Structure 1
Amino acid sequence: MNAERNAPQWLIILAFMAVYIVWGTTYLAVIYGLRGFPPFMLSGLRYLLAAILLLGWCGIRRVAWPGWSVVKVCVVSGILMLVGGSGIVAWSEQYITSGQAAIMIATEPFVFLLADRKRWREYFGNVFIITGLLVGFAGIILFFGGGEAAAQQDADNVMQWVGYGAILVGTVFWVAGALHAEGKLDKRTPNILSSAIQLLAAAIASGLLSGMTGEWSRFRIEQVPAAAWAGLLYLVFFGSLIAYMAFTWLITVRPPALVSTHTYVNPVVAVLMGWAFVNEQLSWMQLLGMFVILVGVLLTNFPNYKLSFNRQRA
C-alpha cells in the first residue's frame, strides 16, 4: 500500500503508456524486422541483445546469481514463452498481418483458464467467466469467418490459415511457460535476473532453430535494409526492455488486474499501426470478431478486477 501511495502519478502514466502502446507496436516492428531477417534469427538476435543488456545491468548492481534449480525453471519457461510463443508469432507474421496476429494473441486469457486446472472449480463456478468463454469463442468464429475477405491478394490463403493455427499453438506454449514459472520459480529471484536468463536461453534456442531450418545459410547481412535494423532495435529496447520493465514495476504499485488491461488495448494499437504504416486491412467481420473477443476477455477477468479494486479500496 505504501508503494502505491508513494509512486509518482506521472511515472505511473508513462509506465501504462509503455505497456499499452509499446507492446501493441511490437507486432508492426516484427513486420519491419522480417524485411531483412528470417523469423527465428530475428527473435534470437532480439533476445540475445536484450539478455546482454540485462545481464550487464545485473552485474553492475552485483545481483547474486541464483541456484541451479532457479536457472532450470527460467530456461524451460523462457524457451516455452519466447521461442514457442513469441518466436512462433514472428514466424506467423510472414503470412498474416500484424493486426491479425495481435487479435489472435488476445485469446491468450482463455487458454490460461483452460490450462490452469487447479483453479477450474473457481473458474467454471463463476457466471462471468463461463459467459466470457462463450462470447470469446463466438468472437474467434467471427474472426476466422472473415479471414478470407481480409486476405492480401498476393498471400497464399492456405499459409494464412497455417499462420492462424501456429499462433494458437504459440499461445499454448506461452501459457505453459508462464504457468511453469508461476508454480516453480523462487519468488525471491529478482525479475530482471530471471528475465535475463529466460532471454538468454531463448536466444540460444532460437539460434539453434534458425540454423536447423537453414536461415543462417540463406542470410546475407549486406542485404538487410535500414528498416529491418530499426525493427530489430525497436524490439530490443522498447519491446524486451522498456515495456517489460514498466510492466514488472506497475504490478508492484497497481493491482495486477488493472495492469492486465493491456490485453484489450494492444490488439487495437496493432491494428491501427498496421493500417497506418503498412496498409494492412481487416474485414468488417474480423473487426467485429476483435471486439467480441475483447468483450469475452473482459468478462472472464471481471471477477479478478472486482476483487483487486475492492482490496485496493480497503
Structure 2
Amino acid sequence: MAERKAPQWLIVLAFMAVYIVWGTTYLAVIYGLRGFPPFMLSALRYLIAALLLLVWCFIKKEQWPGWQTVRTCAISGVFMLVGGSGMVAWAEQYVTSGQAAIVIAAEPFLFLLADRKRWRQYFSNRFIITGLLIGFAGIVLFFGGSDAASAPTGDVGTQWMGYAAILIGTVFWVGGALHAEGRLEKGIPNIVSSCIQLFAAGICSSLLSGVSGEWGRIRFAEVPAEAWAGLFYLVIFGSLIAYMAFTWLITVRPPALVSTHTYVNPVVAVLVGWVFVNEQLGWMQLVAMVVILLGVLLTNFPSYKLSFNQQRT
C-alpha cells in the first residue's frame, strides 16, 4: 500500500503517542500481571478495546469491509497483538520491563531487513542508517548504566526464556505490521481495521488463556485495584491511542522509521519508574537519552527536510 499524505501536525501527534504513551505501558503490564495471568490480560485488553471501537464504528456508521480485508486485518492483528505484544506480556513474568525494552529495540533492524520493497530508500540514505545505528548504541549505553535493567527477577534460565519469547514476538510484530501495510486496500478507515485486528487478537488470546488453564485459576473478586488500573490503562492508552497511532503511521511513513519508537520507549519506561517508584538515574543514562534522541532525529531527518521543502514551495 502506498504511503498516504497527511498533515504534519497529525503525524507529530501520532509519533508522540507511539514514542511516549507506549513507553508507559511497560509499567502498566507489570501492574496488570499482579492480578491477571498474561494471556487473560491480553484477551481482556483487546476485547474491551475492540468493543469500544465497534460502538464508535456504529455511531459513525462506518462501512464494514469485505472478507478479504477482514482476513488481512485478522491475520495482522493476531501476529502483532498475540504473537507480538502478547509474548511480551508473557515474558514480563520473568524479565523486567527494562530488559524487555532492550530486546524490543531490535525491531527497527528487523523492519529494515524484512521491508524489501524499501531497501533502496533505506540503504541509500545515510541519515536513516546512521540514525538507526546511533539509536541502538544509545539503548546499549542507557541500560549499560542501569541497575534496574540488570536486576534479575528469576534464575538465568527463565530470563533467557523470556528474552527468546520477546525476540520471537518482535518477529511476529514486524511480520504482522508489514502484512497489513502491504495488503490493506487504500481508503479503509483506521478505526475499522484496528477494530478487526483487536477482535481477532482478543479471541485468539482468550483461546490461549483457556487452553493454558488461566480461566480456571482466576478469581475476579480477588484481583487487586492496581491490576484493574493497569488493565484499563492498557485498553485506553495502549490499545486505543498508541496502537491506532502506530497502525496509521505505517501507512504514511516507512515502517522502519515508525519502529524507532522502540528506542524512545525504554527511556520513557525508566523515567516513569523514576517518577512513580523513585528509581535512580545515573549520568550515563542521561547521556544515553541524548544519544537516543539524536538517533531518532537523524532517522526522521529526510521526512523533516521533505516537509520543509514542500512548505517553502
Equivalent AA in structure 2 for residue 275 of structure 1: W
Task: Describe the SS at the equivalent of 1:45.
Answer: helix
Q: Does the CA-based 8 Å contact 2:141-2:284 persist in structure 1? A: yes
Deviation of 1:96 after TM superposition, in Å, equals 2.1
Aligned position for 1:238: 237
1:114 partnered with 2:109:
no
Q: Does the CA-based 8 Å contact 2:108-2:132 persist in structure 1? A: no
Q: Does the CA-based 8 Å contact 1:109-1:297 persist in structure 2? A: no
C-alpha separation in 2, matches of 1:112 and 1:81 = 13
Deviation of 1:144 after TM superposition, in Å, equals 7.9
Deviation of 1:296 after TM superposition, in Å, equals 4.5
C-alpha separation in 2, matches of 1:242 and 1:122 = 29
Cα distance per residue 1:201-260 (max 9 Å; x no partner) = 0001111111222222322223211100111011112222234456678899xx858x94
Task: Describe the SS at the equivalent of 1:51.
Answer: helix
RMSD between superposed Cα atoms in Å: 3.6
Aligned position for 2:158: 159
Aligned position for 1:202: 201
Aligned position for 1:44: 43
TM-score normalised by length of structure 1: 0.81
TM-score normalised by length of structure 2: 0.81
Aligned position for 1:274: 273
Q: Does the CA-based 8 Å contact 2:190-2:248 persist in structure 1? A: no
C-alpha separation in 2, matches of 1:272 and 1:52 = 32
Q: Does the CA-based 8 Å contact 1:29-1:235 persist in structure 2? A: yes
C-alpha separation in 2, matches of 1:122 and 1:247 = 20
Aligned position for 2:101: 102
Structure 2 stretches lacking a partner, 5+ long: none
Aligned position for 1:169: 168
Cα distance per residue 1:113-144 (max 9 Å; x no partner) = 11111222332233334434544565566678
C-alpha separation in 2, matches of 1:19 and 1:131 = 21
Q: 1:62 to 1:46 in 2, by over 3 A?
A: same
Equivalent AA in structure 2 for residue 156 of structure 1: D
Tell me whether 143-152 or 109-118 shows the greater mean CA deviation.
143-152
Q: Does the CA-based 8 Å contact 2:42-2:202 persist in structure 1? A: yes
Aligned position for 1:54: 53
C-alpha separation in 1, matches of 2:292 and 2:35 = 33
Q: 1:246 to 1:307 in 2, by over 3 A?
A: same
Q: Does the CA-based 8 Å contact 2:96-2:153 persist in structure 1? A: no
Please give the residue correspondences for 1:11-22 in structure 2 after superposition, counting only pairs within 5 Å: 18-22=17-21
Structure 1 stretches lacking a partner, 5+ long: none
Q: 1:93 to 1:274 in 2, by over 3 A?
A: farther
Tell me whether 275-284 or 78-87 shows the greater mean CA deviation.
275-284
Tell me whether 114-123 or 13-22 shows the greater mean CA deviation.
13-22
Q: 1:76 to 1:249 in 2, by over 3 A?
A: closer
Task: Describe the SS at the equivalent of 2:272.
Answer: helix
Cα distance per residue 1:271-310 (max 9 Å; x no partner) = 1112333466788878877765665554444434433443
C-alpha separation in 2, matches of 1:122 and 1:19 = 23
Task: Describe the SS at the equivalent of 1:188.
Answer: coil
Task: Describe the SS at the equivalent of 1:22.
Answer: helix
Tell me whether 297-306 or 30-39 shows the greater mean CA deviation.
297-306
1:26 partnered with 2:44:
no
Equivalent AA in structure 2 for residue 188 of structure 1: G
The percent of aligned pairs where both chains have the same amino acid is 73
Please give the residue correspondences for 1:283-294 in structure 2 after superposition, counting only pairs within 5 Å: none
Please give the residue correspondences for 1:289-304 in structure 2 after superposition, counting only pairs within 5 Å: 295-304=294-303
Q: 1:298 to 1:167 in 2, by over 3 A?
A: farther
Tell me whether 11-20 or 165-174 shows the greater mean CA deviation.
11-20
Q: 1:134 to 1:242 in 2, by over 3 A?
A: closer
Aligned position for 2:72: 73
1:307 partnered with 2:300:
no
Please give the residue correspondences for 1:180-195 in structure 2 after superposition, counting only pairs within 5 Å: 180-195=179-194
C-alpha separation in 2, matches of 1:284 and 1:205 = 44
